[in-house]
Chain A
Amino acid sequence: MSPALAQWLQLTINGMAIGAIYALVALGLVLTYKATEVLNFAHGDVLMASSFVGWGLIVGLGWPFWLAALATVLFAGLFSWQLDARIMRRIVGQPQFAGVMLTIAMAFMLRGLVSMSFGPESRTYPTPWSGQTTRLAGLVVNDLSLAIVAAALLITLALFWFLKKTALGISIQAASQNQLAAYLSGIRVKRISSLVWGISGGIAAVCGLLLAPIALVDIGLWIVMLKALAAVVLGGFGSVPGAILGGLLLGVIEQFSGVYLPDGFKDAMAYLVLIGVLILWPRGLLGEAHGRRV
């Protein structure tokens, strides 16, 4: 194929790989937003903390990767479950701003704790895919990137099946649409919200574990949440498929702007997209409209 097309394809594939991470993180954000109407600013920090926990298990204790990954995901899920059950539940009924503030507080606390426990150095750990590449139709792809895309695909499909086909999943949808009606229908709303937070935490852990080998196990990992925010907005706030689509698109946009736009645009692209979408097309790609009856 021609070199231009090859470059395009390479960029797109790279973009999708990064985009898959954005999509997964965005997915976690949308889930908690739909369940409790709170934008979880601590999501990035759960992701970051999971990578440190993973490092601790793999490098510190010498566990095999899969075992450490499983343990970390369970731990993060449990942590997020408890976060909602013990702390976020206390401010139900208060304006949305209180929820945002509380998650910001949790984010700070988590960041501080990880900092104090592990110190400021960046680390890394080996994965089954580190350092290996595959050739796909003449292009070089990182095995790790493939793993990320595969994980994103698996998790998305599992989640869709869960939400649409199981009773519990449908209860989750009901509780997110009308909490009071859900209560009156016998759905254990509080428990369900905490469950969703737990799932979201688990997803964050997966993201952290897969992202850290690329971006290093570092406190700064939490910033990927801000990019995921742009992805959620692009896809349409409150839409689960939108989050995935937005994440993938954002990854691709970033890759292309890194090559075709002047220096410095690549890092700023996510935020430009966020502002642009919210001002010009607030519904995003697949989002819900909003208005209030007076």
Chain B
Amino acid sequence: MSVFAVSDLSLRFGGVQAIGELSFSVNQGEVFAIIGPNGAGKTSVLNVITRVFDPSYGRVVFEGQDITRLPRHRVVHSGIARTFQNIELFEGGTVLDNLLLGRHRFGHGNFFAQWLWTPAVRDAEAASRARVEDVIELLDLMPHRNSPVAGLPYGVRKIVELARALVTEPRLLLLDEPASGLNPEETRELAFWIGDIQKDLGITVIMVEHDMSLVCETADRVLCMNMGQLLALGKPGEVQANPDVITAYLGA
């Protein structure tokens, strides 16, 4: 059952057509992977969905709601969260600070109450912390809870970013190259977690990825893009065997 759909999406940067009349839909609870060579427009698709860019044409619909022109900071309120290709963590804080920021959309305490640190504010903070701890346990971040994010190893930082997205209680999760920079062991763990996210949390996942082993292991369907256009769409095995995909991206 389709819960997310992109129709006739186009994005131009001056003379460059980053995305050209792209259409696809994603079903509830599936893991949908987008692959393709660099510059194919994969991250641009995510950026359009999360409103970093305005599309030149086309629509994005999630859970029956047209989100094509949503203000950028309202996207997460619709239930969509994302991670970034180049990690965008809050470098000045600890892991906990980063994750607590993920709870921002669940507003707590009005502005003036915060100056006074009323019991209501205090309790709201404690409640946030409790929810954040659930995600910390899920992703095994306990030893890093109070560590400043700046000093952590790359693999852990990626997980923190994933955790921060989960803390917003999304129904659709957009992952931008989650396995880039991870060693094989970390990639296997990531595959397990994506599986957990899908099955236990029931979150739909759209994943831009280059690591084909991860894609084949976790994805239900795969979309291959090239030069902003849709090249192939189907199950991982089908797309991998598609001759156009092999020519453009995978190599014989």
Return A180 CB to nearest CB of chain B, in Å.
16
Instruction: Please indicate the chain B residues that have their CB under 8 angstroms from the CB of A294 in the complex.
Output: 43, 47, 52, 84-86, 88
Min Cβ gap A84→B in Å is 28
The number of A-B residue pairs with CB atoms under 8 Å apart is: 7
Contacts of B43 in A (CB 8 A): 294
B84 contacts which chain A residues (CB < 8 A)? 294
Q: Which residues of A contact B86 (CB under 8 A)?
A: 294
A294 CA to B84 CA in the complex, in Å?
7
The B interface is mostly helix, strand or loop, or mixed, namely loop
Interface SS of chain A: helix, strand, loop or mixed?
Answer: loop
Nearest CB in chain A to that of B88: its residue: A294
Residue of A nearest to B86 (CB): A294
How extensive is the interface on chain B, given as a class? Answer: under 10
- Shortest A98–chain B CB gap in Å is 15
Minimum C-beta distance from A97 to chain B (A): 13
CB distance from A95 to the nearest CB of B (A): 11
Report the Cα distance A246→B155, complex, angstroms. Answer: 49
Q: Nearest chain-A residue to B46 (Cβ)?
A: A294
How far is A294 from B49 in the complex, measured between Cα atoms in Å? 13
CA distance A294 to B85 in the complex (A): 7
Instruction: Give the residue name and chain of the A residue nearest to B84 (CB).
Output: A294
B:35-50 near A, CB below 8 Å: 43, 47
Minimal beta-carbon separation of A2 from chain B (angstroms): 48
- Residue-wise, chain A 250-294 has the 8 Å CB interface mask toward B (1 for contact) of 000000000000000000000000000000000000000000001
- The CA of A294 and the CA of B52, in the complex, are separated in Å by 9
Specify which chain A residues have a CB less than 8 angstroms from the CB of B88 in the assembled complex.
294
Min CB gap B39→A, angstroms: 12
* Distance in angstroms between the alpha carbons of A294 and B43 in the assembled complex: 9
- Cα A294 to Cα B88 with chains together (Å): 8
Distance from B90 Cβ to chain A, minimum over Cβ atoms (Å): 15
Binary interface encoding of chain B residues 15-50 relative to chain A, with 1 for a CB under 8 A from any of its CBs, else 0: 000000000000000000000000000010001000
* Chain B proximity of A185: nearest CB distance (Å): 23
Nearest CB in chain A to that of B50: its residue:
A294
Interface digits, B80-117 against A, CB 8 Å rule (1 contact, 0 not)?
A: 00001110100000000000000000000000000000
**What is the minimal beta-carbon distance from B238 to any residue of chain A, in angstroms?**
31
Q: What residues on A are CB-neighbors of B52 within 8 Å?
A: 294
The distance in angstroms between the C-alpha atoms of A134 and B47, with both chains bound, is 63
Report how far A294 CA is from B48 CA in the complex, Å.
12
Which residue of the partner chain A has the closest CB to B85?
A: A294
Tell me the complex Cα distance, A294–B177, Å.
Answer: 12
Interface residues of A in 165-215 (CB under 8 A from B): none
Can you name the residue of chain A whose Cβ is closest to the Cβ of B47?
Answer: A294
- Looking at the assembled complex, report how far the CB atom of A257 sits from the nearest CB atom of chain B, in whole angstroms: 37
Chain B positions 111 through 129: 1 when the CB is less than 8 Å from some CB of chain A, otherwise 0: 0000000000000000000
Interface 1/0s, chain B 125-153, versus A by CB < 8 A? 00000000000000000000000000000
What 1/0 flags go to A94-130 for Cβ under 8 Å of B? 0000000000000000000000000000000000000
> Min CB distance, A40 to chain B, in Å?
27
B50 to chain A minimum Cβ distance, whole angstroms, is 9
Instruction: Give the distance in Å from the alpha carbon of A294 to the alpha carbon of B86 in the complex.
Output: 7
Q: In whole Å, how far is B181's beta carbon from the nearest beta carbon of chain A?
A: 17
> What residues on A are CB-neighbors of B47 within 8 Å?
294
Cα–Cα distance between A293 and B86 once the two chains are bound (Å) = 9
How far in angstroms is the closest Cβ of chain B from A12?
37
What is the bound-complex CA distance between A265 and B48, given in angstroms?
46
Residues of A within 8 Å of B85, CB to CB, are 294
Task: Quote the shortest CB–CB distance from A289 to chain B (angstroms).
Answer: 11
Q: Say how far B105's CB is from chain A's closest CB, in angstroms.
A: 20
Mark interface residues in B190-231 (1 if CB within 8 Å of A CB, else 0): 000000000000000000000000000000000000000000
**Closest chain A residue to B176 by CB distance?**
A294
Alpha-carbon gap, A1 to B64, bound state (A): 73
B43 to A, closest residue via Cβ: A294
A247 to B52, CA, bound (A): 36
A294 to B47 CA separation, bound complex (whole angstroms): 8
C-alpha spacing A208/B85, complex, angstroms = 49
Q: In the complex the two chains form, what is the Cα distance from A258 to B4 in whole Å?
A: 62
**Alpha-carbon gap, A294 to B51, bound state (A):** 12
A294–B176 alpha-carbon span in the complex (Å):
10
Task: Give residues in B with beta carbon < 8 Å to A.
Answer: 43, 47, 52, 84-86, 88
Q: List 6 A-B contacts (CB under 8 A).
A: A294-B43, A294-B52, A294-B84, A294-B85, A294-B86, A294-B88
- For the complex of A and B, the 3 pairs showing the least CB-CB separation, nearest first, are A294-B52, A294-B84, A294-B47
